[in-house]
A = this chain, B = another copy of it.
Amino acid sequence: MDEHIAPVPMEKAYRLLNHGPTVLVSARHGGVDDVMAAAWACALDYSPPKLTVVLDRSTKTRQLVEKAGTFVIQVPTVAQARLTYQVGHRSLFTDVDKLKHCGVSLFEVDGHDLPFVSGCSAWLACKLVPEPHNQETYDLFIGECVGAWADTRVFEDGHWNFERANPDLRSLHYIAGGQFYAIGESLNVDE
């Protein structure tokens, strides 16, 4: 694991998604790994941390999630905009070398048989909370976070510090047609 990656306490894990970044979803089953992009991912609870993610039925990643019952949600960076776009527009069903063609490299984390995408700023290992009605009707999946990590250059002591980190580490917020926004400046409201 990269020297900059450190665990995030479970009670702070929701903060990795609270600002609404576009994420990468990765999963592994039967020796197959896949990674897709998802703009529709969202925190759902604090403790234990839970999240929702919409997984279209046309994706191989969804099949792997359904079979394995586990997945990773990770936060890609500005440096990964092209990778993020590409994993969202190529399918493992038609391109068996999708991950290579998209420039994805994976790493392992002890104790989790899951594919983690290198170069992201944060990772949430999740177990699927089965809700067949939501999955079938809305393509809506619920995950419970069982491990969280972040790149300490951009998330430390429970806080993002995008404003002080390299701009290449900012999160991506997808709109459509290849257009993203990067996260911007910090604002503080006195409590």
Cross-chain contact A190 with B178 (CB below 8 angstroms): yes
Residue in chain B with minimal CB distance to A159: B175
Knowing A40-B43, A54-B44, A142-B138, the reply to whether A183 touches B186 (Cβ < 8 A) is no
User: Do residues B175 and A160 form an inter-chain contact, with CB atoms below 8 A?
Assistant: yes
B44 touches A18 (CB 8 A): no
Residues of chain B with a CB closer than 8 A to A22's CB: 19-20
Q: A58: CB under 8 A from chain B? A: no
| Cβ B185 vs Cβ A184 within 8 A | yes
Q: Which interface class (under 10, 10 to 19, 20 to 34, 35 or more) fits A?
A: 35 or more
Whether A71 is near chain B, meaning CB under 8 Å from some CB there, is no
Complex: how many Å from CA A39 to CA B43?
8
- Among A81, A133, A140, the most chain B Cβ lie within 10 Å of the Cβ of A140
Interface with B: A60-68, A93-101, A166-174, which one? A166-174
Against B, the Cβ 8 Å flags (1 = close, 0 = not) of A125-147 are 00000010110001110100000
A29: interface (CB < 8 Å) = no
